[in-house]
Amino acid sequence: MPKIIKNGDIVEDYWNYIDPPKGFVAAYTEKTAMQTPAQEAIGAIVSLDHWLSQRTQLLASNTALGIWLEGHSDLSLIIDDLPFFDVIAVYFPAFTDGRGFSLGSQLRERYQFQGELRAIGSLLPDQMYYLHRCGFNAAVTKPKDLQFAREALTDFSHNYQEACGDDNPSL
Amino acid sequence: MYLYDKYDHKLVQERVEQFERQTERFITGDLTDEQFLPLRLQNGLYIQRHAPMLRIAVPYGMLRTEQLKKMAHICRSYDKGYCHITTRQNLQLNWPSIKDVPSILSELAHVEMHAIQTSGNCIRNITSDPLAGVAPDEIVDSRPYCEIVRQWSTLHPEFAFLPRKFKIAISGSTTDRAATAFHDIGLQLIKDKNGAVGCKVLVGGGLGRTPIIASTVCDFLPEQFLLSYLCAILRVYNRLGRRDNKYKARIKILVKEMGIADFSQAVEQEWQHIKDNYSPLTPKDITQAQGYFSTPPYQQINASTTGEQLDHLALKHPEFGRWLQRNVNHHKVPGYRAVTLSLKPTGNAPGDISAEQLETVAYLAEHFSFGEVRTTHQQNIVLADVNSNELFTFWQYAQSAGFATPNIGTLTDIICCPGGDFCALANAKSIPIAEKIQSTYDDIDYLYDLGDISLNISGCMNACAHHHVANIGILGVDKKGKEFYQVTLGGNNNSRGATNHKPAIGKVLGKAFPANEIPNVIDCVLTTYLQHRIEEDAFLESFLDTYKRIGMPTFKENVYA
Ligand code: HEM
Ligand code: SF4
């Protein structure tokens, strides 16, 4: 079962992905399996396309739902659906692609999303501190980086500016 | 001047430690080249043609004596005995060795300096007017706002991985000496009719391959909303700015592609949602920031008597008179003057300053200007608070240190990039061209007669020397592997007293020239100007005015005759 950083701890991840980002699968399956056995899974994190095309079936299915988005995803397509999602995963195709930082902040700040906000994709441990401050409370890194990523959450002890994630529990 | 509080010290310290860990991981192979690159850039470390280059932040150009002395020490111990003042008011070491970088950063930290966010795709050093706080035409002192934006943008969690670098300039006077129209965001501080402070917000200016004059997104933003509004602009840019092509990734391209109306609307929408989530800047916050820049203990000076004395000295010592005229600015406070030290004597690479010179500047600042100096966009140094009774003594010191070339704002006050001698991206050398022009035109009387005129030289279209906005711009181009130079005329960044001019991008004169023809071309351009300018009594029409009146064709005919 894959591991994830959540609320400051390294824990097992019980969510499965449906139609996950391609780059993510490639990076993630390096050593660990990405999927949780079906009987243990809490729910499914689906792609935006999948959600848009299977919305009725998914809502009827009685499983917990999550959705993954990309930096350029059009939030207006799902704004009214946000309450259906327990998890929103934001995919970072490259660690230098910072759109997800703004997407996360917007979800928390502009759209008041209250569920789990997780960062997935190509991330450096060095980015954990920033992710947390942008409202993320969960992140997936390469398995070898997990421990270091958790430690990097405390890189700084003081911030100059306000940010939307400051009231969050630890990432 | 702003002094660190305990948070600043701690934060810089923690940043140094973080960078040490990153460097270590890079050395052990834990971080790849590709991963380390943006991390080191955000800490000011570039790798250049001959050596790494370390860019050190000088927030809005202000430096204290102990910082100058420390820089002198660093130049001697870790570099070749000199450093460079950039057009964004920062300092640059051109020859440090990578292994020394942590020691340099830690030495800098002792005097409250660092290299954070001087490079990389993040919000860079905030630049401002070198005469902030002392200019007679000032509406609002920009320094407190610069400091507020500096703090806000430092390690901002959302904006550390933008599509491209992001530069902000703030000015607060009627004459814009901060080139706000050529920045990603330009803030012009103003007052509304009730005297409330706010700013006109410009966005999407910049030079480089696609020179664009900024557009206005907001005519009057009340000061309390400054930070949430900046956040809204950056958020729109961060989400929508192009990331597929690094040459199209600056905010200017986004603004151009969306159109200013749609862009403004997107910003406005975002801002309406977030403006109440962020605490507004309270009068207390602003007073506190103003407190960092408290008025120095000026003396009461009888301005009219000292004025007479200066006139008298100027007559007796014409060289001093010229210096007064070109290198000395008026001051808000009667009897005080702001003096520019010229780093552009003939034979000096523009903007370079040696360790000894840094120490002399420190000495001059300590004895004549309350221990503070400002670096300028034109790559000179301003001592902003000199008592006019001491100007003559000051001038003598400055002269013996080689800082008193009375050429500020004249043809030889050239802005020049490192060019082909140092820069891996260059198409052509730029420093030798600057030197050639300086040595050709070192007749002070001739320079005086030419009056206000700007000449900038960039070694390639990245335009580090802002050649587009010079009255005369020179750009290095590559023609089948040979170095050529394209000349532009009529640019203006609105920063050299030409208050009645709008910012403008220069137009290309015609086909490019090899290096050896440049002096001749410049000579033709200047002669054309002198032949056509209007001279009435004491009035001499400026180069820019003449150019605007007679137009490019006249210059073209003469040059290509
Ligand atoms: C030698 C090393 C240098 C390299 C490789 C370099 C590279 C670049 C590049 C690639 C750009 C264009 C970026 C873009 O438009 O997105 C740029 C812009 C710029 N550089 Fe440099 N640069 C160097 C040195 C300097 C120095 C020494 C200065 C100061 C004198 C400087 C000042 C600037 C400025 C002000 C801009 C922005 C121009 C604009 O408004 O578009 N650079 N530089
Ligand atoms: S303008 Fe070109 S040659 Fe000059 S420093 Fe910038 S990148 Fe280098």
Q: Note whether B523 and B469 are same-domain residues.
A: yes
3-class SS of residue A152: helix
Give the nearest ligand 1 atom to B415 CA: 30
Cα B158 to Cα A109: distance, rounded to the nearest angstrom: 12
Nearest CA in chain B to A164: B277
Cα dist from B197 to B139, B188, B192, B200, B283, whole Å: 9, 11, 7, 10, 11
Average pLDDT of every residue of chain A: 86
B495 CB under 6 A from ligand 2?
Answer: no
Chain A neighbors of B274, CB-CB under 8 A: 109-110
Give the nearest ligand 2 atom to B476 CA: 3
The larger pLDDT score, comparing residue B73 to residue B60, is at: B73
Listed by start position, the domains of chain A span 3-152
CA distance B473 to chain A (A): 35
On the question of pLDDT at A29 being above 70, the answer is: no
Between the CA atoms of B552, B556, B557 and B561, what dihedral angle is there, to the nearest 10 degrees?
A: 170
Query: Do the domain assignments include residue B118?
Result: no
Which positions ≥6 away from B407 have C-beta within 8 Å?
A: B326, B342, B344, B413, B444, B447
Polymer length of chain B: 561
Cα B355 to Cα B219: distance, rounded to the nearest angstrom: 44
Confidence of residue B1 (pLDDT cuts 50, 70, 90): low
**How many A from CA of B428 to the centre of ligand 2?**
9
Cα B503 to Cα B495: distance, rounded to the nearest angstrom: 9
The number of the ligand nearest the C-alpha atom of B420 reads 2
On the question of pLDDT at B80 being above 70, the answer is: yes
Are residues A152 and A7 in contact, defined by beta-carbon separation less than 8 angstroms?
A: no
CATH number of the CATH domain containing B256 = 3.30.413.10
CB contact burial B408-420 (16+ within 10 A = b; e otherwise): bbbbbbbbbbbbb
CA distance A126 to chain B (A): 8
The percent of residues in chain B predicted with pLDDT above 70, rounded, is 98
Give the nearest ligand 1 atom to B165 CA: 16
Residue among B7, B162, B278 whose CB faces A98 most closely: B162
Q: Is the CB of B39 less than 8 angstroms away from the CB of A97? A: no
Candidates 3.40.190.10, 3.40.50.920, 3.20.20.70, 1.10.3720.10; CATH matching A3-152: 3.20.20.70
Cα B70 to Cα B113: distance, rounded to the nearest angstrom: 10
pLDDT digits (tens, 9 = 90+) for B341-390: 999 887 778 888 999 999 999 999 999 999 999 999 888 999 999 999 99
Q: Note whether B360 and B494 are same-domain residues.
A: no
pLDDT digits (tens, 9 = 90+) for A31-58: 444 566 667 788 999 999 999 999 999 9
Cα dist from B477 to A107, B216, B419, B457, whole Å: 47, 32, 11, 11
Strand order of the β-sheet with A138-139 is A9-12, A3-6, A138-139, A116-121, A87-92, A64-70, A43-47, A15-18
Q: Note whether B511 and B539 are same-domain residues.
A: yes
Which residues have CB under 6 Å of ligand 1? B 48, 84, 86-88, 92, 164, 182, 206-208, 250, 351, 417-418, 422-423, 425, 462-464
Residue B157 φ then ψ, to 5°: -65, -25
With the most atoms of ligand 1 within 8 angstroms of its CB, the residue from B54, B125, B464, B468 to mutate is B464
Q: Is the CB of B161 less than 8 angstroms away from the CB of A96? A: yes
| Helix locations, B331-421, DSSP H | 355-368, 391-400
Strand partners, B91: B56, B85
Strand order of the β-sheet with B381-387 is B62-64, B372-375, B381-387, B336-341, B328-329
What's the domain range around B509? 415-559
pLDDT digits (tens, 9 = 90+) for B218-253: 999 999 999 999 999 999 999 999 999 989 999 999
**How many A from CA of B462 to the centre of ligand 1?**
6
Q: Note whether B142 and B96 are same-domain residues.
A: no
3-class SS of residue A14: coil
- Strands B472-479 and B455-458 come out as parallel
| Tokens standing for residue B22 | 């990153």
- Strands B336-341 and B381-387 come out as antiparallel
Mean pLDDT on B134-163: 94
Confidence of residue B498 (pLDDT cuts 50, 70, 90): very low
Give the nearest ligand 1 atom to B426 CA: 5
Q: Is the CB of A162 less than 8 angstroms away from the CB of B279? A: yes
Cα B410 to Cα B454: distance, rounded to the nearest angstrom: 6
Residue among A97, A102, A157 whose CB faces B14 most closely: A157
Average pLDDT of every residue of chain B: 91
Q: Is the CB of A99 less than 8 angstroms away from the CB of B155? A: no
Q: Note whether B140 and B286 are same-domain residues.
A: yes
Number of domains within chain B:
4
Last residue of a domain, one of B237, B266, B291: B291
Q: Note whether B381 and B420 are same-domain residues.
A: no
For residue A31, the model assigns a pLDDT of 44
Cα B419 to Cα B476: distance, rounded to the nearest angstrom: 8
Q: Note whether B448 and B477 are same-domain residues.
A: yes
Q: Is the CB of A106 less than 8 angstroms away from the CB of B10? A: no
Cα B430 to Cα B459: distance, rounded to the nearest angstrom: 5
Are residues B62 and B146 in contact, defined by beta-carbon separation less than 8 angstroms?
A: no
Residue A20 φ then ψ, to 5°: -70, 165
Cα A131 to Cα A136: distance, rounded to the nearest angstrom: 6
**Residue contacts between A and B (CB atoms, under 8 Å):** 96
Last residue of a domain, one of B400, B425, B455: B400
On the question of pLDDT at A62 being above 90, the answer is: no
For residue B21, the model assigns a pLDDT of 86
Report CA B181 to chain centroid distance, whole Å.
13
Are residues B406 and B395 in contact, defined by beta-carbon separation less than 8 angstroms?
A: no
Query: Do the domain assignments include residue B408?
Result: no
Cα dist from B246 to B53, B124, B242, B361, whole Å: 22, 17, 8, 39
Q: Of all residues in chain A, what percent are helix, strand and coil, respectively (each to 5)?
A: 40, 20, 40
In the numeric block, the tokens 């070491």 are attached to B93
Q: Is the CB of A95 less than 8 angstroms away from the CB of B161? A: yes
CATH number of the CATH domain containing B71 = 3.30.70
Chain B neighbors of A146, CB-CB under 8 A: none
On the question of pLDDT at B337 being above 50, the answer is: yes
